[in-house]
């Protein structure tokens, strides 16, 4: 199980990849309503070019696309936790196991490279406006912080000829 926090659900390409990895069965992905509130509040504030209705629809689709994705029952733990940023207590309370997103994806590549590559290919195939290539998705994932994972996927792609 991995808890996906706002910092990995905010970037579109990274969010898309992590959801597709979860859909493939390589991991049980979870998030909380509080995490989604933070993601979509910040997207609406920082990206006025995005249609708020479409963002609301994206949130709905996220919750429908990954089975049992909403973490619940952690709320009683929150008051007992002490962190430098009290606003992050809900994340710690909800997380059973967490890794950095790059290490997490790299582990999924090691577990089943084919499923991760297929997830990236499905992301590229789903992007129509504008159309996006496999390499462009890798570029976006690299900008989102997946440097080691992207290097591994690029080396696989180079080996494929």
Give the tens place of pLDDT for each residue, 4-37: 989 889 999 999 999 999 999 988 899 999 999 9
- Comparing 2 with 33, the larger pLDDT belongs to 33
Position 98 confidence tier, pLDDT thresholds 50, 70, 90: very low
Q: How far is CA 144 from CA 53, 115, 134, in A?
A: 24, 20, 15
Give the tens place of pLDDT for each residue, 109-156: 999 999 999 999 998 999 888 889 999 999 988 887 889 999 999 988
Q: Is the pLDDT of residue 72 over 60?
A: yes
The 8-class DSSP code of residue 2 comes to: E
Give the tens place of pLDDT for each residue, 45-67: 999 999 999 999 999 999 999 99
User: Looking at residue 129, what is its pLDDT?
Assistant: 84
Q: How far is CA 148 from CA 16, 18, 41, 103, 158, in A?
A: 18, 15, 30, 8, 15
What are the beta bridge partners of residue 31? 70
Residues contacting 53, CB < 8 A, separation 6+? none
């Amino acid at each position: 199980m991995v808890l996906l926090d706002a910092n990995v659900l905010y970037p579109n390409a990274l969010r898309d990849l992590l959801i597709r990895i979860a859909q493939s069965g390589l991991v049980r992905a979870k998030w909380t309503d509080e995490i989604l509130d933070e993601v979509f509040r910040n997207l609406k504030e920082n990206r006025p070019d995005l249609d708020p209705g479409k963002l609301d629809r994206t949130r709905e689709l996220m919750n429908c696309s990954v089975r049992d994705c909403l973490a619940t029952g952690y709320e009683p733990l929150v008051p007992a936790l002490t962190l430098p940023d009290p606003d992050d207590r809900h994340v710690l309370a909800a997380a059973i196991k967490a890794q950095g997103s790059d290490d997490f994806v790299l582990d999924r590549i090691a577990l089943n490279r084919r499923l991760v590559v297929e997830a990236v290919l499905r992301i590229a195939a789903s992007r129509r406006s504008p159309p996006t290539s496999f390499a462009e998705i890798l570029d976006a994932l690299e900008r989102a912080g997946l440097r080691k994972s992207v290097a591994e996927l690029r080396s696989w792609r180079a080996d494929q000829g």
